[in-house]
Chain A
Amino acid sequence: MKVVLQHLTKKFPSRSKKGEEVVAVSDFTFEIPDGKLIGLLGPSGCGKSTTLNLICGLEAPTSGHIFFGEDNVTRLPPENRGVGLVFQNYALYPHLTVRQNILFPLQNLKGSEKLSKQVMLEKAEEAARLVQIEKLMDRKPSELSGGQQQRVAIARALVKMPRVLLLDEPLSNLDARLRLQTREEIRRIQRETGITTIFVTHDQEEAMSISDLIVVMKEGVVHQIGKPQEVYDEPCNLFVAKFLGTPPINVFSGEVRGGVLYIGEDGVLNVKGVSDRKVYVGVRPEGFVLEAAGPLSCALQAVEVMGRDRSVVSTHPAAVSEAIRAIIPSEEEIGIGSDSVRFALKPAKVHLFDAASEERIPFEV
C-alpha cells in the first residue's frame, strides 16, 4: 500500500493567548512507495511523532491530505485506517499476558470481520512466531526484557496485517547491542511481510542502516528525502550534512576565489563552475588523505586507535567545530612526533555550502 502525503500541515494552538502557535509539521508532501521501509529522521521536537500521529489518525491535520493507495483517509478515524502503531514506550497492557495483548486487536473486530476463537489464536501464534516470542506467550509484560517487550508490541501491531506499520522510536529504550540486533529484526520482519513501514528515529545511523528511503526533518520542515547513501553523499544543505554521519562532518569556513577553494590561506581544491563567494566547507572524516605535501595543514592533537581505523584529531583556525576528526586506515603511516599534519582532500567527500543560505553548491573538480 503506497502512502501519499499532500501538503500535510499540523499547527498546535498556543496554550496562552499571546504565545505563538507551534507548527509541528509544515507542508509535508511525499509519496511513500508500496512495501518500502521509510526512516523518518530528525532532532528531538522536529515533528516526527506528530507526523506518525497524523498518518495513523490520532491527530487531525490542520490542512493537507493523506491517501492510503487511492483511499483518502484524511478524515477517517484511526480504527478504520488499518494501521499498526508501535509506541515509543510500547504501551503493552500490563494486566494482560503476551498472548492476550496480541489477541486484543483481533477481539475488537465486529460484524462480518469477526473471527472464531481458533482463528484468532492461530493468528496470534503466527504473529508471535514472526517476531520469535512464541515461548513467552503466557508471561506478563513486566516479566519481559525491553527487547522482548518491543517484539510483543510489533506482534500486536502486525497481528491484524495492517496496511501501514508505524514505529515511533522503537529502539530508544534498548541498549546498544540489543538495538543493533533489533533493528535488523525489524528489517527482516518488514521484508517478510512486505508492509509499508514508517520508522521514526533520531539516530541517523539507525535510519541509514535499515531504511529504503530516509526523510530528514527539522522544525517541522522536510529538508531532504532520498536513499540513505544519496542523502549522505549529496546532502542538500548544511543541516542535513551535519545531521548524517558518525563521526560528524567537519565544517570549515572558507572562500572560493577564481575557481579555487581556500580554507584559511590554504588553497585546497579546484572547484570549477563556482563563482567567487564565502562558503562553508564540509569534509567527511573519511575525506582526508595523509600527504606530506598536502595543501591543508592542521595542528595535531591526538591519534585515537579504533582497531581497523585510526582517528586523527587536529585543529585548524578556520574550522567551525572545535576539533577536526579524520578517519585514516590503520596501515597508513602518520608522522608521529610532529605537531602538525598535512592532508589532501578527496573531492567526492567535500561539500560546499553557501555561507548565507547554507544550501549546497555543486561543483566539478
Chain B
Amino acid sequence: MMKKNWKAWLYLLPAIAFLGVFMVYPLVDVFVYSFEEGYNSASQTFWGTGLYNYSYVLHDPYFLQAVKNTFILVIITVPVSTGLALLISVGLNSIKPLRELYQTVFFLPYVTNTLAVGLVFMILFKKTAYSDGMINLLINFFGGQSVDFIEGPYWAKMLVMCIYTVWVVMPFKILILTSALASVPQSYYNAAKIDGTSKWRTFTRITLPMISPMIFYLVITGFIGAFKAYSDEVAIFGTNLNAAGMNTIVGYVYDMLYGDSGGYPSYASAAALILFAIVLTITVINLMISRKNVQY
C-alpha cells in the first residue's frame, strides 16, 4: 500500500514540479506583493507591509471604472450570448439541408484572430473622414442621427463592446450546445410526440433539462471568461483604455505593471487578488445554483 502510494507520487512529480514552479510560486508571489507597500521589482525593495495597496486600488477612480465596465460586460454578455447561442443551436438542430454549412459559418469567428475581428468592427462602427461606418449609414437611412461608437458617449462604446464580446464568445457556445442537443436520444422526442407534448413543453421539460449540465458549464466558463476580458477591448479602443473610459480589471492590472503609468507591481497584485476574489465568489454561487438545478 505504502509502496504504491510512493510510486503514484513519483509519477506525478514532473507535473507537480511544473505546476509548482509556474503556477503556485507566482500565485504566492502575487499574494505576498499585494501586501508589500511600494515594492520595486528592479531593486527588490519595499518600505512596509499592510493593506495600503488594497486601499489605494479601491480608491482609484480608474479601478472603479474598470470594475464597473467589467461588471456591465459580464452581466450583459453572459446571458445574452448563452441565450442567443441556445436559440441558434436549436435552429441549427432542427434544419436538415445545409446544416454543416451553417455550422461552419457560425464557427468562423472562433478561428478568426481577435485583431482581425476588431478590424471588421472598425468598419462597422468607426467614424472616418470618408464615412461614419456601416451601422451609422443604416441609422441615417432610417432617419437617425450618427453616433460616434468608438470615441463618443459611454453607452455607445459599451454597446459596441458588448456586441463584440457576444459575437466572439458565441461560436464556442454554439459548438457545445449543438453537440449537446444532438446527443439527446431521439426516443425521448418520440415518446413526447406520442404523448402529444407541445413543441414548447418538449423544449422546456425535456430538451432544456437534458442539456442543462452543458448550459451551466457554459455560464460558469462564460462568467470567468468575461471577468478576464481585456484583449477585445484593446482590439477596439486601442491600448489607452483608461483614456477611453473602457478599461477592465485585467486591463487595469496590465496598466499597473507595464502601461504608461506602470511600474507598480504591488497595486497590480492587489487588483489581481480582488479580481480573483470576485471570480471565486461568483463561481461558487454558480456552482451552488447548478447543484440545485442539474439533477441527474
Residues of A whose CB lies within 8 Å of any CB of B are 56-58, 77-80, 83-85, 87, 89, 91, 93-95, 104-105, 107-110, 140, 142, 156, 160
A79 touches B193 (CB 8 A): yes
Contact mask B187-204 → A, CB, 8 Å, 1/0? Answer: 110110111111001000
B187 touches A89 (CB 8 A): yes
Tell me the bound Cα distance from A78 to B187 in angstroms. Answer: 14
Given that A89-B187, A108-B198 are contacting pairs, would A94 and B193 also be in contact in the complex, using a CB cutoff of 8 Å? Answer: no
User: In the complex, which residues of chain B have a beta carbon less than 8 angstroms from the beta carbon of A108?
Assistant: 195-198, 201
Tell me the bound Cα distance from A87 to B195 in angstroms. Answer: 13
User: In the complex, which residues of chain B have a beta carbon less than 8 angstroms from the beta carbon of A104?
Assistant: 195, 197, 205
Tell me the bound Cα distance from A160 to B195 in angstroms. Answer: 9
Tell me the bound Cα distance from A80 to B195 in angstroms. Answer: 9
User: In the complex, which residues of chain A have a beta carbon less than 8 angstroms from the beta carbon of B296?
Assistant: 94-95, 140, 142
Contact mask B169-210 → A, CB, 8 Å, 1/0? Answer: 000000000000000010110110111111001000110011
A79 touches B191 (CB 8 A): no
User: In the complex, which residues of chain A have a beta carbon less than 8 angstroms from the beta carbon of B128?
Assistant: none
Given that A108-B201, A140-B296, A142-B296 are contacting pairs, would A93 and B194 also be in contact in the complex, using a CB cutoff of 8 Å? Answer: no
Tell me the bound Cα distance from A18 to B70 in angstroms. Answer: 58
User: In the complex, which residues of chain A have a beta carbon less than 8 angstroms from the beta carbon of B194?
Assistant: 56-58, 78-79, 83-85
Chain B residues 139-167 with CB under 8 Å of chain A are none
Q: Is B295 an interface residue when CB atoms closer than 8 A count as contact?
A: yes
Output the least CB separation between A61 and chain B (Å).
17
Tell me the bound Cα distance from A142 to B212 in angstroms. Answer: 17
With A79-B193, A104-B205 known, 14 other A-B pairs at CB within 8 A are A56-B194, A57-B194, A78-B196, A80-B196, A85-B190, A87-B191, A89-B187, A91-B188, A91-B190, A93-B188, A95-B210, A95-B212, A105-B195, A156-B191
Tell me the bound Cα distance from A84 to B194 in angstroms. Answer: 7
- In the complex, residue of chain B having the shortest beta-carbon distance to the beta carbon of A92: B191
User: In the complex, which residues of chain A have a beta carbon less than 8 angstroms from the beta carbon of B206?
Assistant: 93
- Majority SS of interface residues in chain B? helix
B187 touches A95 (CB 8 A): no
Output the least CB separation between B107 and chain A (Å).
26
User: In the complex, which residues of chain B have a beta carbon less than 8 angstroms from the beta carbon of A160?
Assistant: 195
User: In the complex, which residues of chain A have a beta carbon less than 8 angstroms from the beta carbon of B193?
Assistant: 58, 77-79
Tell me the bound Cα distance from A110 to B190 in angstroms. Answer: 19
A95 touches B195 (CB 8 A): no
User: In the complex, which residues of chain B have a beta carbon less than 8 angstroms from the beta carbon of A94?
Assistant: 210, 296
A-B residue pairs in contact (CB < 8 Å), sample of 30 = A56-B194, A57-B194, A58-B193, A78-B196, A79-B193, A79-B195, A79-B196, A79-B197, A83-B194, A84-B194, A85-B190, A87-B190, A87-B191, A89-B185, A91-B188, A93-B188, A93-B191, A93-B205, A93-B206, A95-B209, A95-B296, A104-B195, A104-B205, A105-B195, A105-B196, A107-B201, A108-B195, A140-B296, A142-B296, A156-B191
Which 3 pairs, one residue from A and one from B, show the smallest C-beta to C-beta distance? A79-B196, A105-B195, A91-B187
Output the least CB separation between A71 and chain B (Å).
16
User: In the complex, which residues of chain B have a beta carbon less than 8 angstroms from the beta carbon of A156?
Assistant: 191, 195
- In the complex, residue of chain B having the shortest beta-carbon distance to the beta carbon of A105: B195
Contact mask B258-296 → A, CB, 8 Å, 1/0? Answer: 000000000000000000000000000000000000011
A91 touches B195 (CB 8 A): no
Tell me the bound Cα distance from A151 to B289 in angstroms. Answer: 33
User: In the complex, which residues of chain B have a beta carbon less than 8 angstroms from the beta carbon of A91?
Assistant: 185, 187-188, 190-191
User: In the complex, which residues of chain A have a beta carbon less than 8 angstroms from the beta carbon of B201?
Assistant: 107-108
A85 touches B191 (CB 8 A): yes
Tell me the bound Cα distance from A89 to B196 in angstroms. Answer: 20
Output the least CB separation between B93 and chain A (Å).
19
Tell me the bound Cα distance from A329 to B89 in angstroms. Answer: 66
Output the least CB separation between B227 and chain A (Å).
30
Tell me the bound Cα distance from A57 to B190 in angstroms. Answer: 10
Tell me the bound Cα distance from A109 to B206 in angstroms. Answer: 17
Tell me the bound Cα distance from A160 to B194 in angstroms. Answer: 11
Chain B residues 29-65 with CB under 8 Å of chain A are none
- In the complex, residue of chain A having the shortest beta-carbon distance to the beta carbon of B190: A58
Output the least CB separation between B211 and chain A (Å).
11
Output the least CB separation between A15 and chain B (Å).
14
Output the least CB separation between B181 and chain A (Å).
15
- In the complex, residue of chain A having the shortest beta-carbon distance to the beta carbon of B191: A91
Tell which of A83, A105, A142, A156 has the most Cβ of chain B within 10 Å: A105
User: In the complex, which residues of chain B have a beta carbon less than 8 angstroms from the beta carbon of A110?
Assistant: 198
User: In the complex, which residues of chain A have a beta carbon less than 8 angstroms from the beta carbon of B197?
Assistant: 79, 104, 108
Output the least CB separation between A149 and chain B (Å).
13
- In the complex, residue of chain B having the shortest beta-carbon distance to the beta carbon of A85: B194
- In the complex, residue of chain B having the shortest beta-carbon distance to the beta carbon of A97: B295
Tell which of A58, A77, A110 has the most Cβ of chain B within 10 Å: A58
Tell me the bound Cα distance from A83 to B196 in angstroms. Answer: 10
Chain B residues 200-229 with CB under 8 Å of chain A are 201, 205-206, 209-210, 212
Tell me the bound Cα distance from A140 to B296 in angstroms. Answer: 9
- In the complex, residue of chain B having the shortest beta-carbon distance to the beta carbon of A109: B196
User: In the complex, which residues of chain B have a beta carbon less than 8 angstroms from the beta carbon of A142?
Assistant: 296
User: In the complex, which residues of chain B have a beta carbon less than 8 angstroms from the beta carbon of A95?
Assistant: 209-210, 212, 295-296
